């Protein structure tokens, strides 16, 4: 199982995003948190910002849409060249249609779940997806404490993905740090968003490398 670290720039300098991305060469992708003050009580940036970031980096862009009416907006991010687009199932009218649209545009289709949203009702949809994002904090803000109560859901999601077969990534987002990443990897996550843990450090790339080696150690059975 591959391990991927996908740092969130939410706590980086948003006025110099491409420079901030250049500080994490070891990252497998950069995680861009789009918020609309409707789906979550916070506002960040939208499509024009993602387009500008795209123009300035070859890094894989992992766009996390925390927005209402996501069926209408998500395809534009795939058209802008984001390699992965996550929509929240709570905000989507037609998740299967949307996932197919994203894939048709050449992006990886990813479905996000808030902490209180169960995975089981969506078991039959998993084959339409390239990634499932499980929130391990309430979406909206960086720097919150990891919710340990999410570990059983990570385990159950891993079991459903294994039963489905294929290579659907399982991403966790919120409160991931040196203290929590191993628990998540043990539970079956393979793709890790880390925001404040990475960008509050003097050497963000060293944190990315350390997180990766911790998770890989667990995945290797160490
Ligand atoms: C929160 C965002 C996260 C956030 C993670 O709603 O989706 O991606 O930036 O930040 P940390 O790692 O600080 O919890
Ligand atoms: Zn996120």
What ligand is nearest to the CA atom of residue 194? 1
Establish whether residue 95 lines the binding site of ligand 1, counting it when its CB lies within 6 angstroms of any ligand atom: no
Establish whether residue 139 lines the binding site of ligand 1, counting it when its CB lies within 6 angstroms of any ligand atom: yes
Q: Which residues surround ligand 2, an ion (CB under 5 A)?
A: 33, 64, 173
pLDDT at residue 107 in the model = 98
Q: What is the pTM of this model?
A: 0.98
Cα dihedral across residues 160, 175, 194, 16: positive or negative: positive
Which conformational region is residue 145 in: left (phi greater than 0), alpha (psi within -120 to 50 degrees), or beta?
A: beta
Ligand 2 centroid distance, CA of 26 (Å): 19
Establish whether residue 176 lines the binding site of ligand 1, counting it when its CB lies within 6 angstroms of any ligand atom: yes
pLDDT at residue 222 in the model = 63
Cα dihedral across residues 184, 81, 65, 127: positive or negative: negative
Establish whether residue 137 lines the binding site of ligand 1, counting it when its CB lies within 6 angstroms of any ligand atom: yes
Separation between Cα atoms, residue 91 and residue 71, nearest integer Å: 8
pLDDT at residue 221 in the model = 87
Active site residues: 33, 173
**pLDDT tens per residue across all 222 residues of the chain:** 699 999 999 999 999 999 999 999 999 999 999 999 999 999 999 999 999 999 999 999 999 999 999 999 999 999 999 999 999 999 999 999 999 999 999 999 999 999 999 999 999 999 999 999 999 999 999 999 999 999 999 999 999 999 999 999 999 999 999 999 999 999 999 999 999 999 999 999 999 999 999 999 999 986
């Amino acid at each position: 199982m591959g391990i991927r670290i996908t740092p969130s720039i939410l706590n980086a300098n948003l006025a110099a995003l491409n420079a901030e991305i250049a500080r994490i060469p070891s990252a497998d992708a950069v995680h861009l948190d789009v918020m609309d003050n409707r789906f979550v009580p916070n506002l960040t940036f939208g499509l024009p910002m993602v387009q500008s970031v795209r123009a300035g980096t070859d890094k894989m862009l992992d766009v996390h849409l925390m927005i209402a009416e996501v069926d209408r907006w998500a395809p534009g991010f795939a058209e802008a060249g984001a390699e992965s687009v996550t929509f929240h199932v709570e905000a989507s009218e037609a998740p299967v249609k949307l996932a197919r649209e994203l894939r048709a545009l050449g992006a990886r289709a990813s479905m996000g779940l808030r902490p209180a949203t169960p995975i089981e009702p969506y078991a039959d949809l998993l084959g339409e997806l390239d990634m499932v994002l499980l929130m391990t904090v309430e979406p909206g803000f960086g720097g919150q404490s990891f919710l340990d109560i999410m570990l059983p859901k990570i385990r159950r999601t891993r079991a459903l993905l294994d039963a489905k077969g294929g290579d659907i990534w399982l991403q966790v987002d919120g409160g991931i740090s040196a203290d929590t990443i191993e628990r998540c990897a043990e539970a079956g996550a393979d793709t890790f968003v880390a925001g404040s843990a990475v960008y509050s450090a003097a050497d963000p790339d060293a944190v990315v490398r350390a997180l990766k080696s911790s998770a890989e150690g667990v995945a290797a059975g160490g």
